[in-house]
């Protein structure tokens, strides 16, 4: 933020305080829908990456072995992953799959594509109980 905009924000804050209403993290149903929409947009990008076969070098797509992201068990991470010899997050396992069956290059863990795929995978697995560490 620039110096000016910080000043404006500070003023706004004071104004809100003077108005006497509670702050905290207030949000409306519309906000919730809107933010879910933001998430869905990312998850949809993840789905597109999941099926398009361009993440690696051999044309294989994640969806070929994991239709609807089945058998990815996002609810079990972090967990001991024997293919990596240590406890890892699902992003690291996604990278393992990109490097190994897909014969591609790993990405940085905060790459928007990794985040998008995690969003997609978790969305397809919604409602399943958390079981961290479960093989």
Is the CB of 12 or the CB of 131 nearer to another protein? 131
Angle at alpha carbon of residue 64, lines to 58 and 123, rounded to 5°: 120
Torsions phi, psi of 107, nearest 5? -110, 165
Of the candidate residues 80, 108, 132, 133, the single one contacting another protein (CB under 8 A):
80
Q: How many residues bind another protein (CB under 8 A)?
A: 33
Of positions 44, 45, 60, 78, contacts another protein by CB under 8 A: 60
Least distance to another protein, CB of residue 40, Å: 14
CA angle (41, 131, 115) in 5-degree steps = 25
Dihedral sign for Cα atoms in the order 63, 65, 68, 72: negative
Q: Which residues contact another protein by CB under 8 A? A: 51, 57-60, 63-68, 70-71, 73, 80, 82-87, 97, 99-101, 106, 124-128, 134-135
């Amino acid at each position: 933020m620039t110096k000016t905009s910080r000043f404006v924000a500070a003023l706004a804050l004071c104004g809100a305080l003077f108005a006497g209403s509670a702050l905290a993290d207030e949000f409306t149903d519309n906000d919730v829908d809107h933010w879910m929409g933001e998430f869905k947009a990312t998850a949809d990008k993840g789905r597109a990456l999941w099926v398009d076969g361009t993440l690696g070098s051999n044309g294989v797509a994640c969806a070929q072995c994991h239709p609807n992201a089945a058998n990815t068990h996002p609810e079990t991470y972090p967990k001991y992953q024997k293919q990596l010899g240590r406890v890892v997050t699902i992003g690291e396992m996604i990278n393992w799959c990109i490097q190994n069956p897909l014969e591609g290059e790993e990405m940085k863990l905060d790459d928007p594509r990794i985040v998008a795929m995690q969003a997609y995978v978790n969305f397809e697995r919604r409602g399943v109980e958390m079981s961290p560490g479960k093989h």
